Structure formats: structure tokens, C-alpha cells
Structure 1
Amino acid sequence: MVNSFIERIQRVHKDINAIAIMMFENALSEAQSCDELVANGVSLGPLHGVPVTIKESIHIAGTPSTWGIQGKDELLEEDDPSVARLKNAGAIILAKTNAMQLLMGCETFNPIYGRTNNPWNLERTSGGSSGGEGAAIAYMCSVLGLGTDIGGSIRTPAHFCGIHGLKPTPRIIPQHPPKGISHIQKGASSMSSIGPMARTVDDLKLAFEILSRKQ
């Protein structure tokens, strides 16, 4: 399955430009491990071997979270709690997806990764700020993924790209605060949520249950 999604991304990436950071080598290694576990009758959880993508601003160890800001390329040392929960359920991360610079806007564009196009009409926007995630899922580059939302950053691209997205009540899904970035409005960070995005409501429900489960 992971091979198929990687091939899909490589085939359509130039059209929608949804992928910011490709993590294919690691994904293939994890997929092989998942196959070996299945052969031995072992399951990692409800997302065993499922390929997913993650918004660029969300922490994944070994990758930067630039928020579209040039020079903010420090590699992160640990996963966001939401990412860790997906991994613990067996998910395999294929890539990080493009986001609007500073996550402020209803489109997806920044000077590092460029513009993400709407998969249904390449001349239109994918929405924002989680537009890379919305476009990747809609264009079958990922089964499901994570976005972030304060004032519509999951809901807008989900609507524009024809998929489903959920902004949970803040703090239901644990998340790391952004490193080295402050919101212009002090109260904005308290409204921020990480939430799932998927093509079907059933997938959205499963992801939310995994992400919000009390540890």
C-alpha cells in the first residue's frame, strides 16, 4: 500500500504541489516492518500500515516545521503527541504537507514550498492554511492526515477540496506549542486545535478516537 501511495505522489506532485517534505525512505522501511509483523500474526493497532500525511507545522522528529518562514529549518527532536498517537496505532507517515505561511490565510502559499493547487481545478486554491493536507487527501496521495485549525484552517480546505475535516474542541487532542512563533493575537493560541482530515466520515471518526483517547 505504501508503495502505491508513493508512486501516486510522485506522479501528481507537480500538479498540486501539496507535499512539502517527502519521507519515503523511512516510510518504506516501516512498511516492511509492518508486513513482517503481519506475517507473524502481530498487529500494531487500528492503523497498522496505513499511510498518512501531516501538516508541515506539526512536529515530526527529524524534520523542520518552518511554517513557511525561510531560515526556520531546525530539525525537531521529538514528535508532536498527536503524531505519536498515530504512530502508536500503526500509521506510517509518508510526508509533511504544505501550509500557508504563518498559518494565516484561506489559501496555501509560502516562499519555501510555493503554492498548493486545488486537485479539482488546478487554477483554484486548495484553501488554507491546511491546504496541502486537504489537496493530498483529495488527490489520493494519503488515506488521512492531520491539520491545524483556529479560524477555519482545517474546515476551509476540507470544503474546498471535497473531503472531511474536524476541528475538535481545543486541548481534546494534545499538541506541542509552536517553537519560536507567537500569534499576533494572544488569545489565538488558546483556540488552536489539531484535528484529523480524511475522505470519509468513518475514517475521520476512527482517527479522532485514536487522537483523543485518554492515555
Structure 2
Amino acid sequence: MADLLDLDATAIVQALAGKRASAVELLKAALARHEKTHAALNAVVAIDLERALERARAIDDQRSKGDPLGPLAGVPMTVKDTFDVAGMPASSGIAELRRRLAEDARAVALVRSAGAVIWGKTNVPVMAGDWQTANPLYGATRNPWSLERTPGGSSGGAAAALAAGVTPIEIGSDIGGSLRVPASFCGVFSHKPTWGMVSQRGHVPPAPGSYAERDLNVVGPMARSARDLRLLLSVMEDGPLAPKAPGADLTSARIALWVDEPAFVLDRQVRDVVLRLAGELAAAGATVEPIPSPVDVNQLLGAYQVLLGSVLAEDLPGRMLGSMELTRPLAKLAVRRGAPPFSTAAMTLAYTARHTEWMAADAVRARLRHEIMGLFDRFDAILAPIAPVAAFPHDTRPFQKRVLTDSEGRTHPYISMAQWIALATALKLPATAVPAGLGEGGLPVGAQLIGPPGGDGRLLALAQSIDEDIRGFLPPAL
């Protein structure tokens, strides 16, 4: 059973259909893997064993009778703890949120109806608001590649569980790189869909019971293979995406390479890994052409911070917002004097943005989204870094005191983590995270393929070809 757990979900489905294992056996094997790794990783933080065993037994019974089964029938999996699951309400790292009844989030319900056996929840930062995963309720999750380092956030528990073989597929979300950064730090795959492609219903934040489809935020799949991304997305999207389509023909692929951005932080080691992947794509026959900034990045970051702050402000305590209102004049003065995007002053203005300010940011977004479509007339995808550095050590200090340290010992603002992920998020574009390779320090580095709105199928086909023909998932030596 342990060997089967190391397969991707597509192969596990085949093993179950061929009766090489039962759903109950695989569930117990997943739980055993969790118990073996939990003390080190702290990735899975809540378990509903009774309900999962009941579900697995029912699927085994259906299979023995020859009843029709869903495309994920019997696959044991976990779900990020920002999604409501029947019997396991989303805590989002806050104890009070667990003390309520909840039904399955829409994406969870679709996955369950496809036959998946959901048995646990994976850890997140408080209200999914960080690029590392820790909260007062469950503590910190550690990266299986290096336990003193973060697996990323906010889908950090999900990425760590995937890399460690505790689960073959996961449901994550992304408003500030939360699908892509953990995938990069842990060496797994993820897909940020076109905005609106997958329902956010049952995701916390916003507050439980909300029907709002939040601006910028998306729900997407995480996995150890690109074909599993396609499979899981086809279930969650509940639409026409083909789950078993072939990979793309790399000889006809047109890739825009974006790694040189003077305004963005990028560690030399990360840059080298992404460039190496670009060279391998070119060697496989793809057209790879370096490009300058695809849009005006200063305008991009300025719009993104207002759009993001306007969303996140809903989750802040009223007293905190009131204090920010009082400091708006000083924040405006600091921004006029050159305070950079995502600085404390800039975010104070973003959290307290007036509706006219939000409309101005939305107008900038619409114009940049229009401008970038000309690039996608020439290229299938943009290949770019995800994070400016590889996985960094756990840091429990307040945001404004944190820094990123690159491989040459230079420090950069922590908020630089928002730079490379901003394009796809602010413009609501799809982006697929793929393992690009290992840096000199032996840590995984991911790259993102960014495509036009609705171009999810093409990105996933390209990712599948990279996975199968160039480089796929490497397990950590945990």
C-alpha cells in the first residue's frame, strides 16, 4: 500500500479499478503515512476517520457490485483548512470557527461526489494571510525538504502533505500566490484557474455563510503530476475541461520568458533554475523568447495593492480599520514622498480605500488586461518565476520586521513575495506552477506558466508535457 501512495491520483484510480487495492486499504495506508510524518511536518491538523472509513467501505461495496463509480472513486485525500467540509468546518487557523456546523464547500462537494475519500484538513496561516504556514491553533507546518524552513502559504499544509506522499491531490486557493508559492517551495504542481472558473462557495475567508465570489481569489487543484491537476480541475470546474487530454506538442509551443524585471527581486539561484528549464524547453523544440516587462509593473503593483487591500479589509477587526482611518493623512504623505508599493503606508491606504479609489485601480487592471492580450496573440504562455527566493526559514516576527535573504546574503523586503505572483492574480489570468528543478542548496524551485483568460487547458497541456518529457515531481528524502 505504501508504494501505491507514492503514485499520482490517476495511477491510484487505475490501481483501484484493477483491484490491486481497496479504498479502505488505501485510506489506512494514508493514515499510517500521516502518523509516521506528522511529528516532523504537522501538515494534516484535523481528521474525521469514522466518516472517511464509512465512505471508503461504501465505495468498495459499490465496486464489488459493478456499480458506476466517479472518476476519483476511492482516492484518499485531504483538503486545505480554509474549506468547509461536513464534520470538519474550516478553521482558517482560528479556534472559534471550528465551533459550528458546516456543509461541504462547493468544490469539496464536487470532489466527494466524484468518489474521493476526504479524511483530513491541512494547515494554513490565520485567515490564509501569509506566505508561511503557522497559526496559534495548530502551530507551524514544516517543509519536508528542510524542516527548519516553511512550506509556503497559505496552502502550505497541502503542499507539504503532497510532497511527503500523505495525499495525492489537494484543493487549494490563491489570492496572493497561495497555490503557487507552496508548490514552488515543496516541489509540487498547482493550478490557479481563470477567475470564476471554480466556485468559492464555502471558502473561509470571507466569513462563513457568504455567497460572495471574492475579487482576485480562486480555488484550484494541487497534485504531484500535471495530469492530476487536469483531472481534479475537471471535477471541481464541473464543465468541459478534458481530464484525460494529451500533453502539448512542445515543438509548436511558443513561450515568452520573463525573468529579467529590474523592479522585482529575484535570487540568482532561482533565476538560474528557471533559465535551465527554459533551455530544456527550447531543446525539446519549443520557441522560447525572452521578453521585457509584459505590462507596466509599477502600475500593476499599484492597482493590485488597492484591489487586494479592499478585499482583505473585510477580514480585519473594526478597531484596526478605525486606527488606519486616523493615519490616512500620514500614509498619503508617505506615499507621495516615495513609499514603495505594499509598504505599510501604501497598504494603509489600500485597506481604507474609498470606492472611487477601488474603481481607479479596477480601471488600471482592465487596461493592463487588455494590453497583455496582444502578447498572448504571439505566445501560448509566459514562463516566469513564482517566488523571489527558495523556501526560507520560519519567521514568527511581525510582517514589517521580516526580510528575505537571498543566496548571496542580501536582504529584501518580505513583501517582495507579492511581486512575481501579481500579474496573474491582479489580471485574473490562469497560471500553472511546475517544478523547475533544484537550486544549488538542494531546495526545489518552481516556475509558473501564465496564460490568457480561459487558457487553462493549454497551460495544463504544456505543464503535462514538461512533467512527462522534461521534469516532474521529485520526492524529498524525508
TM interval, shorter chain, is over 0.9
8 Å CA contact 2:123, 2:141 repeated in 1: yes
Which secondary structure state, in structure 2, belongs to the residue aligned with residue 53 of structure 1? strand
- In structure 2, how many angstroms separate the alpha carbons of the residues matched to 1:55 and 1:180? 12
Once the two structures are TM-superposed, the CA of residue 23 in structure 1 deviates from its matched residue by 1.6
Which residue in 2 is equivalent to 1:185? none
TM-score, normalised to structure 2, is 0.42
Alignment of 1:39-188 (within 5 A): 39-176=64-201, 178=203, 181=206
- In structure 2, how many angstroms separate the alpha carbons of the residues matched to 1:171 and 1:57? 18
Q: Does 1:199 align with 2:216?
A: no
Once the two structures are TM-superposed, the CA of residue 24 in structure 1 deviates from its matched residue by 1.8
* Residue range with higher mean Cα deviation, 105-114 or 64-73: 64-73
Once the two structures are TM-superposed, the CA of residue 169 in structure 1 deviates from its matched residue by 1.5
Which residue in 1 is equivalent to 2:233? 208
Once the two structures are TM-superposed, the CA of residue 42 in structure 1 deviates from its matched residue by 1.6
Once the two structures are TM-superposed, the CA of residue 70 in structure 1 deviates from its matched residue by 3.3
- Specify the code of the residue in structure 1 equivalent to 2:122: T
Q: Return closer, same or farther for 1:73/1:151 CA change in 2, 3 Å cut-off.
A: same
From 40, 44, 49, the counterpart of 1:19: 44
8 Å CA contact 1:62, 1:75 repeated in 2: no
Q: Return closer, same or farther for 1:120/1:200 CA change in 2, 3 Å cut-off.
A: same
> Greater CA radius of gyration, 1 or 2?
2
Larger RCO: Structure 1 or Structure 2 (Cα < 8 Å, ≥ 6 residues apart)?
Answer: 1
Deviation per residue, 1:145-173 (Å, 9 max, x gap): 10110110010001101100111122211
Once the two structures are TM-superposed, the CA of residue 43 in structure 1 deviates from its matched residue by 3.4
Deviation per residue, 1:60-98 (Å, 9 max, x gap): 122221211232223333111100110111000020100
Once the two structures are TM-superposed, the CA of residue 46 in structure 1 deviates from its matched residue by 0.7
Which secondary structure state, in structure 1, belongs to the residue aligned with residue 46 of structure 2? strand
Once the two structures are TM-superposed, the CA of residue 30 in structure 1 deviates from its matched residue by 1.1
- Specify the code of the residue in structure 2 equivalent to 1:112: L
Which secondary structure state, in structure 2, belongs to the residue aligned with residue 166 of structure 1? strand
Which secondary structure state, in structure 1, belongs to the residue aligned with residue 215 of structure 2? helix
8 Å CA contact 2:89, 2:102 repeated in 1: no
Which residue in 1 is equivalent to 2:30? 5
**Tell me, which stretches of 5 or more residues in structure 2 are unaligned?**
1-25, 208-212, 241-478
- In structure 2, how many angstroms separate the alpha carbons of the residues matched to 1:117 and 1:42? 41
Once the two structures are TM-superposed, the CA of residue 44 in structure 1 deviates from its matched residue by 2.2
Once the two structures are TM-superposed, the CA of residue 213 in structure 1 deviates from its matched residue by 1.9
- In structure 2, how many angstroms separate the alpha carbons of the residues matched to 1:11 and 1:52? 17
- In structure 2, how many angstroms separate the alpha carbons of the residues matched to 1:177 and 1:58? 6
8 Å CA contact 1:60, 1:76 repeated in 2: no
- In structure 2, how many angstroms separate the alpha carbons of the residues matched to 1:2 and 1:94? 8
When the two structures are aligned, how many residues end up with a matched partner?
210
Which secondary structure state, in structure 2, belongs to the residue aligned with residue 31 of structure 1? helix
8 Å CA contact 1:49, 1:92 repeated in 2: yes
From 60, 83, 107, the counterpart of 1:35: 60
- Specify the code of the residue in structure 1 equivalent to 2:35: Q
- In structure 2, how many angstroms separate the alpha carbons of the residues matched to 1:172 and 1:131? 23
- Specify the code of the residue in structure 1 equivalent to 2:77: V
TM-score, normalised to structure 1, is 0.92
Q: Which has the higher strand share?
A: 1
- In structure 2, how many angstroms separate the alpha carbons of the residues matched to 1:32 and 1:189? 37
Once the two structures are TM-superposed, the CA of residue 177 in structure 1 deviates from its matched residue by 5.5
Which secondary structure state, in structure 2, belongs to the residue aligned with residue 36 of structure 1? helix
- In structure 2, how many angstroms separate the alpha carbons of the residues matched to 1:179 and 1:115? 19
Once the two structures are TM-superposed, the CA of residue 33 in structure 1 deviates from its matched residue by 1.0
8 Å CA contact 2:83, 2:89 repeated in 1: no
- In structure 2, how many angstroms separate the alpha carbons of the residues matched to 1:54 and 1:73? 15
- In structure 2, how many angstroms separate the alpha carbons of the residues matched to 1:161 and 1:104? 19
8 Å CA contact 1:58, 1:80 repeated in 2: yes
